[in-house]
Amino acid sequence: MLWKGNGEYINMDEMSRGIATAALTLQSPLLQALVAPGVMSPRQALDIVDLALEVSKGRSQSKAEKEVENVAVQCLKSVREGVRDILN
């Protein structure tokens, strides 16, 4: 599916991947910002990432959805590593 933005056509799959990447990239610093002042425990932050990983897997049906799922899972794994570093 194509979407016309800024006068040119953009592949919706590419847009979805970009949005997923941006959103999940923000998750790590947001969780770290909540853990640092003690608003949230490191364990709670890790639980959030684990839950996000769980619901991100195995729900896609099309090839394009599978690609977006793979990007989301890879980003969440990176977020998990960052949060796990806080625990250590």
| Burial per residue of 26-51, b for 16 or more beta-carbon CB atoms within 10 angstroms, e otherwise | ebbeebbebbeeeebebeebbebbee
72 vs 21: CA distance, rounded Å: 7
pLDDT digits (tens, 9 = 90+) for 21-75: 788 778 888 888 898 899 999 899 999 989 988 888 887 788 877 877 888 888 8
66 vs 44: CA distance, rounded Å: 28
Helix (H) or strand (E) holding 37: none
Inter-residue contact 35 to 82 (CB < 8 Å)? no
